[in-house]
Copies of this chain bind each other. A is one copy, B any other.
Amino acid sequence: MKFRRSERLIDMTTYLIEHPRQVVPLTFFADRYGSAKSSISEDLAIIKQTFEERGLGTLQTIAGATGGVKYSVKISEQEARPFVEELCQLIASPDRLLPGGYLYMTDILGDPSIVQRAGKIIASAYADSSIDVVMTVATKGIPLAYAVASQLNVPVVMVRRDNKVTEGSTVSINYVSGSTKRIQTMVLSKRSLSEGSKVLIVDDFMKAGGTIKGMISMLEEFRAHVSGIAVLVESEEIEERLVDDYISLVQLSNVNEKEKTINVKTGNFFNQNKEGLQ
């Protein structure tokens, strides 16, 4: 069966998007379509150009025997901003205020299209970093962690609050919650993380950073390294932040339960890009 260029372009685009950060040998596509490698190279040049012009991602060509082509998501600050600003507006609704100054975000975190877009933006920020695994803590950070991990083509490791028989042997640590100052426990399956792993920590919300600091302590138990920390929303009014090197997409401040007001602005992801700190 012979494939026309248009069919190859559609199929290759789908394949690349569904296999981010995987090196696909040119021979794979050549065999798939019964086409010459030179035609495949031309197809890839068109896809690369379109992806880059439309801000869909990048295609990287890797030379040599183990070479091929690799797609990575790449959302620029400029492309991310309208989405994050819309997210800020969504979060800023006074209906979200709960007793104690907490914020209802369950619907936002339950919307796969928001979570996946946020995941792509975070993955873009770490596209050039070396990351072996994404780590999060149950429950609410899980969907975002998966969205990031699927773009980075790495597994997710889930820290739990409780010990489950289905996890096998576990390592357990105690940590102090940053805002409530309570002692809490987190548990991670021994099998789930290899020594020396480079880890991106992802969570939905950061207040003082106690939970994230707990995850960092957990990584020390596994002799693993923190390659980055990313949160969807951070609360700005913290006397003493326990974690300092992180990115956030959204920042909250002036959460006033009585007046039913919240101040929501874009997070430090945008400042960092501006200053070229990434």
Using a CB–CB cutoff of 8 Å, the interface residues on chain A facing chain B are 5-7, 9-11, 13-14, 17-19, 46-47, 49-51, 53-54, 56, 98-100, 102-107, 110-113, 115-116, 138-140, 142-143, 146-147, 149-150, 153, 155-158, 160, 165-168, 189, 191-192
In the assembled complex, the CB of A250 is this many whole angstroms from the nearest CB of chain B, namely 16
Name the B residues within 8 Å of A18 (CB-CB): 17
Given A13-B14, A146-B115, A192-B110, the answer on whether A6 and B7 have CB atoms closer than 8 Å is no
Partner of A46 from B6, B47, B51, B168 at Cβ < 8 Å: B6
A110-B157 in contact (CB<8A): yes
B10-A105 in contact (CB<8A): no
Name the B residues within 8 Å of A153 (CB-CB): 112-113
Question: Complex Cα distance A111/B145, Å?
Answer: 11
Number of copies: 2
A166-B104 in contact (CB<8A): yes
A107-B150 in contact (CB<8A): no
B10-A156 in contact (CB<8A): no
Partner of A112 from B50, B138, B146 at Cβ < 8 Å: B146
Question: Complex Cα distance A7/B9, Å?
Answer: 9
B168-A98 in contact (CB<8A): yes
A10-B9 in contact (CB<8A): yes
Name the B residues within 8 Å of A49 (CB-CB): 7
Q: A14-B54, A107-B155 are in contact. List 14 more A-B contacts (CB 8 A).
A: A6-B50, A7-B50, A11-B54, A13-B13, A98-B166, A106-B158, A106-B189, A106-B192, A110-B158, A112-B153, A139-B142, A139-B158, A142-B142, A146-B146
